[in-house]
Chains A and B, each alone.
Chain A
Amino acid sequence: MDSQDRDETKLRQRQELLARRLGEALDRMKPYGEAECPDAEVIAAYAEQALGPAESAVWEGHFAACARCRKILRVLAASVDTPLAEKEVAQLGKLVSAVRAPVEITERAAVRARSRFVDWRARWLAPAIGVAAVLAVWFAMRPPWRATDRGASETLVAQAPKEEVPSSPAPAELDQFSNSAPQQQDRKTAAAPQPGRLSANAAPLNSPVETPAKGRADSAAALDKISPSADEARSSLQKEKKLTALPDARELQPPAFSPAAPPPPKAQAAMEAQSAPQSEAKDATSAAGAAVPQAETKADAIGSAASRDKQVATLQGGVQPAARNERAFGAFRQIQNYSSMLKAPSGSTLWRAGNGGVIERSTDAGKSWVSQMSPSQEDWLAGAAVSDTVCWMAGRNGAIARTMDGKLWERVSPPAPAAGNDAKLPDWTGITARDAVSATITANDGRKFATPDGGKTWRLQ
């Protein structure tokens, strides 16, 4: 028995040693030069098991003797996508906002220059907001300082970027307002938007509506955290607003609208329809879009949302520090131009989206926002938040996206029949969704398509 065991052990040792030595031999031999190594595509196809058996066998013979290729395969296998943490997604959001960087190597120098500038600003979004928030708190807690500067408020407000200004409520007017951007720019500070692709796209997306809403909500939230002195300040500012808001607003109204202005986008209407049950978000959005007196009226009627409106109007109307803060990061708002603010039924999760495919998410009712990786660079025009984790977006050139976990967005195939003769897909100006798989989208020509299976099939309605 012992002898049998010994023999078996010996055999196993022998075969182990043999195999090990063979492995060494495989490593030492170089039957193939590196030039004969398969290219990246063959390696990728092999990794995906997309090669036929015969071709796989040929390349496996190579891999057996080629340490380099085995290493590449190993590295490839180890680099399979894993979901990113929220923080990483946020960082990537900023990186993606610099998407035009590689476009810089195209020959369109003019576009390139504008894009680069815009991207540069976008990269500083987070620190700028942080600084602005700190400044807002600091200014609010220093009433004497504010008082000394009060006299300058009109001037400052007049210099503020357009999103600080209470704008006209009508979408058509907003469009024309955007169209008059070049004239507006004369009045703006250095934070004025660039007339590049982003700002051009931003024009019809009601930028003055959503952007200030966010800024005001942030500022109001900051004020909410402040002690009684802030309340005092707020009340004095509210009084001051009545004196300053309207004239300022008038002063900064856009010039006469051009009769050739494009029709109002349906996006805003669609957004508002979408967010109808989402009262708080809508309040913030629509109040921001309305003229100041309207915001005030709403404020009187709607309680807490109204008080926020008041604060917003106050900040906007005449408080110089807030105006400064607005000015400090106003540029970013203009870049992002959220066309939609969506609120999940729970009330705690919100999404906002807009130009250039920007998507942001808040899980604390709008106090903080995290950029999300958007599957498209198209402008988002409409959205539907079904739950805290399921949300749909629809936008220009047939762009549709969906998230099912609240974090990762995936592109949804648009209905092929929606494409015109030139194969161009329409802009989606509205979307309603029941769940993660059932949605109905509305094209800018009024056609509606519904999907019962997450976009695999679409039916014209």
Chain B
Amino acid sequence: MPKESPLASLDQFLAQYAHLATELHGEAMCARWGLPPEAFAESLRRSAEKRFGGAQPDPDAVEAYLKSLHHEDLALACACSEGIEQAWEFFIAHFRQNLRNAASAMLRGSGRADDARAEELADSLYAELYGVRSGADGRRKSLFEYFHGRSKLSTWLRAVLAQKQVDMFRTSGRTVSLEAEMEGEVPNELAGRTSSVPADPDRERYVGRFERALSTALANLSPRERMILACYYVDQLTLAEIGRLLREHESTVSRQLERMRGALREGVTHALRRETPASNGRPAEPALDVAQVELAFEYAVEDWPFDLSQALSASGPAADPQEE
């Protein structure tokens, strides 16, 4: 029978980390809010439990993790969650401006900025932060309970606000479909294909090979590279915006993007020009020549989109199945 995690309950947590919890209780200046050590220890336990899950964590890793938290912010969130008035007053005095600025900036980004809206958006969080009574026991569930001190409280609040704003924006149906956006740029290949051009009997084969080659090339990109790709081509962010998001200089992003594009093209071309052995019930396929590769690219663009879920779901660079 597996040993229970020390993070499973407060008692077990305190049995192992009581000293650290006491130390962090002092460091977080919980006394300012009159926050009892048990309440703070419970928030530490919840944080560690969320980070390490139900697994048996390495005590050193847990200790390092707990020490790395934003303790003062965690204490404040915990005190607010407990409904301590003094903490709430401090929170509002300290973070209201922050929230309002963030709301204003977010609304500016969506072209709907005005003071009243920003204030409304920012203030809309308070009820959730305080928590509404729910459940059979009528216990209040404060949004603060979801703050575990991994980031600054101010950043977390902005993230919560951003989630709220984005979800509101998405549900309001203001998103423009990609098809509509691309309509002006990309000719309707389907219409062209159904014209008088005679169908190529090898078309399906080329497209199939292309899709597999592309999946492989894509899976070989790192998650960060895939994210850059999505930011650039899907979200239409500028290099500077991507750089800000990833905390990198735009020239670095530009270099990464260029390298990625080249790697994709070469990866796909290379895969197409190689003979592929039979696998997964698929017959062996001969290598394509330059002209056929050209055609494969053309057909692929016309027959887009492909289902790349499998390749993109991979958490990191994947092995080329063709090389197996």
Q: Is the CB of B94 within 8 A of A44?
A: no
Stretch from A20-28, A165-173, A210-218, A429-437 contacting the other chain: A20-28
Contact with B along A184-195 (1 / 0, CB 8 A): 000000000000
Contacts of A19 in B (CB 8 A): 229, 232-233, 257, 260-261, 264
A61 contact from B97, B98, B160, B315, Cβ within 8 A: B315
Q: Is the CB of B261 within 8 A of A16?
A: yes
Q: Is the CB of A419 within 8 A of B31?
A: yes
CB distance from B234 to the nearest CB of A (A): 4
Q: Is the CB of B214 within 8 A of A22?
A: yes
Which residues of chain B in 141-165 are interfacial with respect to chain A, using CB atoms and an 8 Å cutoff? 146-148, 150-152, 154-156, 158-163, 165
CB distance from A33 to the nearest CB of B (A): 12
Contacts of A18 in B (CB 8 A): 214, 261, 264-265, 268, 297
Q: Is the CB of A48 within 8 A of B151?
A: yes
CB distance from B125 to the nearest CB of A (A): 10
CB distance from B228 to the nearest CB of A (A): 8
Contact with A along B164-186 (1 / 0, CB 8 A): 01110110000000100010000
- Cβ of A29 under 8 Å from chain B: yes
Q: Is the CB of A71 within 8 A of B159?
A: no
Contacts of A56 in B (CB 8 A): 224
CB distance from A407 to the nearest CB of B (A): 12
Contact with B along A5-37 (1 / 0, CB 8 A): 000000100111111111111111111000000
- Cβ of A365 under 8 Å from chain B: no
Output the nearest chain A residue to B257 by Cβ-Cβ distance.
A19
Q: Is the CB of B151 within 8 A of A79?
A: no
Q: Is the CB of A57 within 8 A of B224?
A: yes
Q: Is the CB of A74 within 8 A of B93?
A: no
A27 contact from B93, B101, B230, B301, Cβ within 8 A: B230
Q: Is the CB of A84 within 8 A of B97?
A: yes
Q: Is the CB of A11 within 8 A of B265?
A: yes
Determine which residue in B96, B126, B241, B307 has the highest number of CB atoms from chain A within 10 A of its CB, and name it: B96
Q: Is the CB of B147 within 8 A of A61?
A: no
Q: Is the CB of B126 within 8 A of A50?
A: no
Q: Complex: how many Å from CA A102 to CA B90? A: 11
Output the nearest chain A residue to B132 by Cβ-Cβ distance.
A105
- Cβ of A142 under 8 Å from chain B: no
- Cβ of B308 under 8 Å from chain A: yes
- Cβ of B105 under 8 Å from chain A: yes
Given contacts A25-B305, A74-B237, contact A41 B218 (CB under 8 A): no
Q: Is the CB of B101 within 8 A of A79?
A: yes
Output the nearest chain A residue to B264 by Cβ-Cβ distance.
A18
Q: Is the CB of A22 within 8 A of B162?
A: no
Determine which residue in A26, A81, A107, A423 has the highest number of CB atoms from chain B within 10 A of its CB, and name it: A26
Q: Is the CB of B223 within 8 A of A76?
A: no
Q: Is the CB of A15 within 8 A of B261?
A: yes
- Cβ of A221 under 8 Å from chain B: no
- Cβ of A306 under 8 Å from chain B: no
A41 contact from B154, B159, B237, B309, Cβ within 8 A: B159
- Cβ of A63 under 8 Å from chain B: yes
B223 contact from A60, A96, A100, Cβ within 8 A: A60
- Cβ of B287 under 8 Å from chain A: no
Q: Is the CB of A65 within 8 A of B230?
A: yes
Contact with A along B298-324 (1 / 0, CB 8 A): 001100111111001111100000000
Determine which residue in B31, B129, B223, B231 has the highest number of CB atoms from chain A within 10 A of its CB, and name it: B223
Q: Is the CB of A106 within 8 A of B85?
A: yes
- Cβ of A95 under 8 Å from chain B: yes
Q: Is the CB of B163 within 8 A of A21?
A: no
Contacts of B127 in A (CB 8 A): 105
CB distance from B70 to the nearest CB of A (A): 9
Given contacts A78-B106, A357-B93, A377-B90, contact A41 B227 (CB under 8 A): no
Contacts of A16 in B (CB 8 A): 261
Q: Is the CB of A81 within 8 A of B109?
A: no
Given contacts A23-B234, A397-B32, contact A41 B156 (CB under 8 A): yes
A424 contact from B31, B160, B222, B304, Cβ within 8 A: B31
Q: Is the CB of B146 within 8 A of A39?
A: yes
Contacts of B54 in A (CB 8 A): none
Q: Is the CB of A82 within 8 A of B101?
A: yes
Which residues of chain A in 347-368 are interfacial with respect to chain B, using CB atoms and an 8 Å cutoff? 357
Q: Is the CB of A92 within 8 A of B237?
A: no
A22 contact from B98, B156, B229, B315, Cβ within 8 A: B229
Contacts of A79 in B (CB 8 A): 101-103, 105-106, 109, 158, 161-162
- Cβ of B203 under 8 Å from chain A: no
Contact with A along B267-289 (1 / 0, CB 8 A): 01000000000000000000000
- Cβ of A229 under 8 Å from chain B: no
Q: Complex: how many Å from CA A105 to CA B108? A: 30
- Cβ of A422 under 8 Å from chain B: yes
Q: Is the CB of B233 within 8 A of A24?
A: yes
Q: Is the CB of B156 within 8 A of A84?
A: no
Given contacts A23-B234, A48-B155, contact A41 B146 (CB under 8 A): yes
Q: Is the CB of B162 within 8 A of A75?
A: yes
- Cβ of A273 under 8 Å from chain B: no
Q: Complex: how many Å from CA A40 to CA B144? A: 11
Q: Complex: how many Å from CA A313 to CA B18? A: 63
Contacts of B83 in A (CB 8 A): 106-107
A103 contact from B89, B98, B156, Cβ within 8 A: B89
Q: Is the CB of B159 within 8 A of A76?
A: yes
Q: Complex: how many Å from CA A424 to CA B96? A: 26
Output the nearest chain A residue to B125 by Cβ-Cβ distance.
A102
Which residues of chain A in 276-304 are interfacial with respect to chain B, using CB atoms and an 8 Å cutoff? none
Q: Complex: how many Å from CA A65 to CA B221? A: 13
- Cβ of A47 under 8 Å from chain B: yes
Q: Complex: how many Å from CA A398 to CA B234? A: 51
Contact with B along A88-114 (1 / 0, CB 8 A): 000010011001111101111001000
Q: Is the CB of B159 within 8 A of A72?
A: yes
Q: Complex: how many Å from CA A76 to CA B151? A: 13
Contacts of A106 in B (CB 8 A): 83, 85, 88
A-B CB contact pairs (8 Å), 11 listed:
A18-B264, A21-B305, A22-B233, A25-B312, A41-B147, A44-B152, A47-B245, A67-B234, A79-B106, A81-B154, A375-B93
Sample of 10 further A-B pairs with CB below 8 A, known A23-B230, A64-B226, A103-B88: A18-B297, A26-B234, A29-B307, A40-B160, A44-B150, A49-B247, A77-B245, A78-B108, A81-B101, A376-B93
List the 8 closest A-B pairs by CB distance, nearest first: A23-B233, A423-B31, A64-B226, A44-B151, A61-B223, A60-B223, A15-B265, A79-B105
The interface of chain B, by Cβ under 8 A from chain A, is 26, 29, 31-32, 68, 83, 85, 88-90, 92-94, 96-98, 100-103, 105-106, 108-109, 119, 126-127, 129-130, 146-148, 150-152, 154-156, 158-163, 165-167, 169-170, 178, 182, 214, 218, 222-224, 226-227, 229-235, 237, 241, 244-245, 247, 257, 260-262, 264-265, 268, 297, 300-301, 304-309, 312-316
The interface of chain A, by Cβ under 8 A from chain B, is 11, 14-31, 39-45, 47-51, 56-65, 67-68, 70-82, 84, 92, 95-96, 99-103, 105-108, 111, 357, 373-377, 397-398, 419, 422-425
